[in-house]
Amino acid sequence: MIYKTLRRVFTGIAMLASLSLAAQEFDSELQLSDEETTCWYRICNASSGMDSYAMTDLNAGEESDEDQDDALRIFIPLLPTETENHHSQWKLTAGEDGKVIITNRATGSQIGNTSNNIGNLNLTGFNLSSHAQGFTITPLGNYAFKLEGTEDDGVNRCLAFADRDGEALAYPETDESTSIVGWKFFPVEIETGISSTKASRPIVISVKNKRISVSGSTDWQLFSLSGEEMPRTVSLPTGVYLVKMPQKSVKVLIP
């Protein structure tokens, strides 16, 4: 990561409003969605006071919609929306080279890897054509994650929170997990091939120290994506793995 280029990072815009939401239980490990299971998340910034403001796609899902404000069609605002709002819900899927694709539930738009210049800031856009390259996701602790992606100019930048009318960004000198480069994922709903259930789930898949564990079930196996069965008690290399249970199979990312 070239930190001194952070004045040109990916950003979200906060539209401040007064709204009180119930305490949210953010995930310390992220679940990738696949053909069998989809986990929808609200994505909030880890900086102070932003727990209620989620990334929101205000597009109508059509590039020709003339009623949309151009600024909102380009940039990702952070809004205090209702939990049930599909425009503020996102799924994570496995991309190429260990990257993670972030897709909106309402519009199908993906968060792209190209910034748009606004003064001394670059603001993140959506790829309406669904060709996003994806992000590398790194845990920071305190339920926060860093999202990094390489843009068209070859520079690796991290997704960060910024006020479009504010000062140029500076990379955090202290705890990244509570800074503008940290993001929290609040699970809203899990969809399976059989039914849809709210995010409280009896079987929990956890990642700690690069080890995968499953609570709520003892009948599970761990495989690499190539089909090789992996030991359940050792630290694993970075990559995507398959947790196979009688009820379903789930892809899990080891950052």
- Give the C-alpha distances (Å, rounded to integers) separating 117 from 5, 120, 159: 14, 7, 15
Tokens for 240? 């995507």
Boundary (domain end) residue, out of 135, 159, 189: 189
pLDDT of residue 2: 30
Which one has a higher pLDDT value, 25 or 66? 25
Altogether, the residues listed in the chain come to a count of: 255
Q: Are residues 18 and 126 in the same domain?
A: yes
Give the Cα separation of 150 and 162 in Å (integer): 19
Q: Are residues 26 and 137 in the same domain?
A: yes
Q: What number is the average pLDDT over the span 31-47?
A: 90
Which one has a higher pLDDT value, 203 or 101? 101
Give the Cα separation of 156 and 116 in Å (integer): 15
Q: Are residues 56 and 179 in the same domain?
A: yes
Q: Are residues 68 and 125 in the same domain?
A: yes
Q: What number is the average pLDDT over the span 103-107?
A: 92
pLDDT digits (tens, 9 = 90+) for 169-227: 777 888 889 998 899 999 888 876 555 555 544 466 777 778 888 776 778 889 988 88
Q: Are residues 184 and 217 in the same domain?
A: no
pLDDT at 71 over 80: no
| Type of residue found at 169 | L
Q: Are residues 167 and 68 in the same domain?
A: yes
pLDDT of residue 190: 81
pLDDT of residue 113: 73
Boundary (domain end) residue, out of 189, 212, 241: 189
pLDDT at 237 over 50: yes
Q: What number is the average pLDDT over the span 127-133?
A: 62
Asked whether residue 19 is assigned to any structural domain, the reply reads: yes
Boundary (domain end) residue, out of 155, 189, 223: 189
Full domain range(s) for residue 250: 202-254
Q: Are residues 182 and 242 in the same domain?
A: no
Q: Are residues 156 and 248 in the same domain?
A: no
Asked whether residue 194 is assigned to any structural domain, the reply reads: no
pLDDT at 109 over 60: yes
Q: What number is the average pLDDT over the span 233-249?
A: 82
Which one has a higher pLDDT value, 130 or 211? 211
Q: What number is the average pLDDT over the span 79-84?
A: 90
pLDDT of residue 125: 59
Give the Cα separation of 141 and 232 in Å (integer): 23
Asked whether residue 89 is assigned to any structural domain, the reply reads: yes
Q: Are residues 184 and 206 in the same domain?
A: no
Asked whether residue 195 is assigned to any structural domain, the reply reads: no
pLDDT of residue 231: 87
Q: What number is the average pLDDT over the span 157-174?
A: 77
pLDDT at 98 over 90: no
pLDDT of residue 127: 56
Structural domain total, the chain: 2
Q: What number is the average pLDDT over the span 114-139?
A: 65
Q: Are residues 108 and 172 in the same domain?
A: yes
pLDDT at 11 over 50: no
**Any idea which of 9-23, 115-129, 177-191, 194-208 has the lowest mean pLDDT?**
9-23
Asked whether residue 239 is assigned to any structural domain, the reply reads: yes
pLDDT of residue 46: 93
Other Cβ atoms within 10 Å of 154 Cβ, number: 6
Give the Cα separation of 118 and 123 in Å (integer): 7
Asked whether residue 166 is assigned to any structural domain, the reply reads: yes
Q: Are residues 171 and 79 in the same domain?
A: yes
Q: Are residues 178 and 214 in the same domain?
A: no
